[in-house]
Amino acid sequence: EAEVAQSPRYKITEKSQAVAFWCDPISGHATLYWYRQILGQGPELLVQFQDESVVDDSQLPKDRFSAERLKGVDSTLKIQPAELGDSAMYLCASSLGQGNTEAFFGQGTRLTVV
Amino acid sequence: GQSLEQPSEVTAVEGAIVQINCTYQTSGFYGLSWYQQHDGGAPTFLSYNALDGLEETGRFSSFLSRSDSYGYLLLQELQMKDSASYFCAVRGSNYQLIWGAGTKLIIKP
């Protein structure tokens, strides 16, 4: 069964260091989302891509976060420098298109900043 | 602003029926989705309502009233494996998904 792949599953980094997460969506899915989820809360959209273009990054802290999807397939989310408050689960999801009702999620990357 | 309200926690007994409510206030509305998330796992899609009324999928049903900006998820014949967090999410303008804070469903034997 096709699934969204994310790596790494867990990451511990020191504050002020750089960290990167990778996501490979389901083949053929044009829309890719990066979410941040703090324990006990709902996912918060960081950035949404349609193919290689950013559709929405209004909640992305652009002074330290960046995201790219250069060929419209896999995507990388980077944090530099990491702060203690960035500790969270980072979830990647994909859907066939923006209007599709179902988003498929990867298992996420659990980031701990120490 | 945009917001979704759902109860933080609901407790029910195995075999019973439980309803999880969601009210929303968003700019733009293309539909209401429900997702299930087990502890440590990823959200998985349960249902979607774009039009008013009830959608049924097995033991789960979802209802939408656009005039009331309200929906609910109904879970029947509860099983222990249904213990999880349930999120409502609205697809708003720009097609982004706006999520509620989630309802933790606790099921007792």
Query: What is the C-alpha to C-alpha distance for residues A112 and A74, in angstroms, rounded to an integer?
Result: 23
Cross-chain residue pair B42–A91, CB shorter than 8 Å: yes
Given a cut of 80, is residue A72 above it in pLDDT?
yes
Q: Give the pLDDT of residue B24.
A: 95
Cross-chain residue pair B96–A45, CB shorter than 8 Å: yes
Query: What is the C-alpha to C-alpha distance for residues B89 and A78, in angstroms, rounded to an integer?
Result: 26
Q: Which of residues 11-30 of B touch A (CB under 8 A)?
A: 30
Query: Are A50 and A33 within 8 A, CB to CB?
Result: no
Classify each residue of A92-102 as buried b or exposed e, where b means 16 or more C-beta atoms within 10 Å of its C-beta: bbbbeebebbe
DSSP A52-77: TEEEE-TTS-TTTEEEE-TTSS-EEE
* A45 contacts chain B (CB < 8 A): yes
H or E stretch at B71 = strand B70-75
Q: Give the pLDDT of residue B2.
A: 79
CA of B47 vs chain A CAs: smallest distance (Å): 8
* A112 contacts chain B (CB < 8 A): no
Handedness of CA B67, B70, B73, B74 (dihedral sign): negative
Query: What is the C-alpha to C-alpha distance for residues B36 and B101, in angstroms, rounded to an integer?
Result: 12
pLDDT tens figures, A1-47: 689 999 999 999 999 999 999 999 999 999 999 999 998 889 999 99
Q: Is A18 exposed, middle or buried (0-12, 13-18, 19+ CB in 10 A)?
A: exposed
Q: Which of residues 66-85 of B touch A (CB under 8 A)?
A: none
Query: What is the C-alpha to C-alpha distance for residues A35 and A105, in angstroms, rounded to an integer?
Result: 10
Q: Give the pLDDT of residue A33.
A: 95
Q: Give the pLDDT of residue A109.
A: 97
Query: What is the C-alpha to C-alpha distance for residues B81 and B66, in angstroms, rounded to an integer?
Result: 31
pLDDT tens figures, A36-59: 999 888 999 999 999 999 998 999
Hey, what amino acid is at A93? Answer: A
The token pair at A31 is 């829309």
Measured from the Cβ of residue B67, the count of other Cβ atoms closer than 10 Å reads 7
Cross-chain residue pair A55–B95, CB shorter than 8 Å: yes
Q: Number of C-alpha atoms within 13 angstroms, CB side, residue B1? A: 3
Query: Are B25 and A83 within 8 A, CB to CB?
Result: no
The token pair at B14 is 């195995």
Residue found by looking up tokens 């249904």 in the block? B82
Q: Number of C-alpha atoms within 13 angstroms, CB side, residue B34? A: 29
Cross-chain residue pair A56–B91, CB shorter than 8 Å: no
Report which DSSP code applies to B49.
Answer: E
Q: Give the pLDDT of residue B43.
A: 94
Q: What are the average pLDDT values for consecutive 10-residue runs of chain B, which has 109 residues?
A: 91 97 91 94 93 94 96 97 96 82 95
Query: Are A56 and A47 within 8 A, CB to CB?
Result: yes
